[in-house]
Amino acid sequence: MSKTQPSAACLHSLKKRYRLANCPERGAILDEFAATSGYYREYAIAILRGSQQPHRGPVWRPRARYYQAKDRGAVLQLADWFDEISSRRLRAAMDVILPIPLLGIDSDNGAEFINQELMRSCDQERLTFTRGRVGRKNDQPFVEQKNWSLVRWIVGYERYDTPRQVRRLNQVYAVYRLYINLYFARCGVSAAWPRRLRRAAS
């Protein structure tokens, strides 16, 4: 239901009715005013009594400061180093981040993953190998979105398939993978999410 703020004339009439009404009538007027305006009941009562004026336009509330002025430069420098990531991820990146052991691989059904070489490698390293269901793109929503944030963002949309280009890409990825895996903190997945999505994001 859309919420609308009353005009000055309408609000003046409502205040007068509210002031002259008995207790049950005031309750009905308050219910109607709160429902149409979207105000909380306590705020609506204050407006109808005249002790507060309705606020028009967005409410801007200053955010709490977590860093002192002397720390601001250092935090801005860290944010620049970590590609302007969100404050949650920046805070995690500022902690000591240790390498996390690889336990398994969950891929899509492309031939670049479903092949004997990768299977042998998983067997040798004792890694669990699973794959998404055929024709179900939503099995890997958190992986698919990385096509932009981890691939297109740094190398663009051009096709690189010559031997020289592949060597250059491998040089870039040799450094970039360490940056992403060791220093670019990943946010946790809420336990309230469906099990299928939690598995895909982990």
Tell me which residue has tokens 């944030």: 149
Extract the tokens encoding 88. 């949650």
Please list, in sequence order, all residues whose beta carbon lies within 8 angstroms of the beta carbon of residue 158, skipping any fewer than 6 positions away. Answer: none
Among 12, 17, 22, 23, CA closest to 53: 12
Q: How far is CA 19 from CA 3, 25, 31, 179, in A?
A: 24, 10, 15, 66
Distance separating the N- and C-terminal Cα atoms of the chain = 38
pLDDT in tens, the chain (202 residues): 445 677 888 888 888 889 899 988 888 988 888 888 888 888 889 888 888 887 666 666 677 766 677 777 877 787 777 777 777 777 666 665 565 678 888 887 778 788 888 889 899 999 998 887 877 767 776 666 677 777 888 888 888 889 999 999 999 988 888 777 776 655 555 544 445 444 444 4
User: What residues have CB less than 8 Å from 76, skipping those under 6 apart?
Assistant: none
What does the pLDDT read at residue 96? Answer: 55
In a 13 Å sphere around the CA of 195, the CA atoms on its Cβ side amount to 0
Position 171 scores a pLDDT of 92
- Alpha helices per DSSP H over the chain: 8-20, 23-37, 41-49, 69-81, 87-94, 116-125, 141-144, 146, 153-155, 163-178, 195-201
CA 116 to chain centre: 37
Let me know: does 200 contact 186? Beta carbons within 8 Å.
no
Q: Are 78 and 90 in contact (CB under 8 A)?
A: yes
Q: How far apart are CA 36 and CA 103, in angstroms?
A: 55
Nearest C-alpha neighbor of 28 from the set 43, 41, 39: 41
* pLDDT given for residue 192 in this prediction: 46
Q: Say how far apart CA 83 and CA 45 lie, in whole Å.
A: 48
